[in-house]
Amino acid sequence: MKLKMILSLLIVCLASAALLSYVYTVTTPIIEEGIEEKLDEQLREVFPIAHSFSYYIVEGDTLLKDTLWAALDSTGNRIGILFKVFPKGYGGPIETLVGLATDTTIVTIRPATPSEGLKETPGLGVKITEAFFLDQFRCKKLEEIRLKSYGGTIDAITAATISSRAVTDGVRKGIEKFSIYLHYE
């Protein structure tokens, strides 16, 4: 009797493992394709004049995947870069995608949305995703990217200063870190 139960359990476990493995094999490419499409959509939102994007290879063979991209025109010439920064906001890291033209001006920025993992306070910190805040970054240079209260040109969101400062500081530090790749071969 015990042997029958053990064999039955073994067969159920093996069948379950095989089915799970099959489902994983079938769904993984579909999920990865969806992720790539979403990323391409986000890159195009931040750098709409780019024809295509490519990952940067830096420091030998190290690939900065999901962190740094080159924006290319239709002939393959670099017209800028895009990079992600993760400054610490009130509710946690604020994933922010930044487009930087070759003349070091910001094309635009795009913080993650609440559905993409943004954990800032609803109704307050989440306002960093709204156009009135994001539009302040367009065509700005590094030295302008500070809140007005710190000598810059960016208006903080009322009652969401921590989130505003986090995005502003993250963008500025990202430009300082990644602008060297504007002309990297």
pLDDT, tens digit (0-9, with 9 covering 90-100), for 12-63: 899 899 899 988 888 888 878 877 788 888 899 989 999 999 877 555 545 5
Q: 44: exposed, middle or buried (C-beta count within 10 Å: 0-12, 13-18, 19+)? A: middle
pLDDT tens-place string over residues 77-99: 999 999 999 999 898 999 999 99
Domain count, the chain: 1
Over residues 138-163, mean pLDDT: 92
Residue 110 is part of which domain span?
Answer: 47-183
The answer to whether position 40 is within a domain reads no
The answer to whether position 11 is within a domain reads no
The span from the CA of 8 to the CA of 139, in Å, is: 67
**Given a cut of 90, is residue 110 above it in pLDDT?**
yes
The span from the CA of 58 to the CA of 149, in Å, is: 36
The answer to whether position 134 is within a domain reads yes
Tokens of 12: 């159920």
**Given a cut of 80, is residue 146 above it in pLDDT?**
yes
The span from the CA of 112 to the CA of 126, in Å, is: 10
Tokens of 153: 């040109």
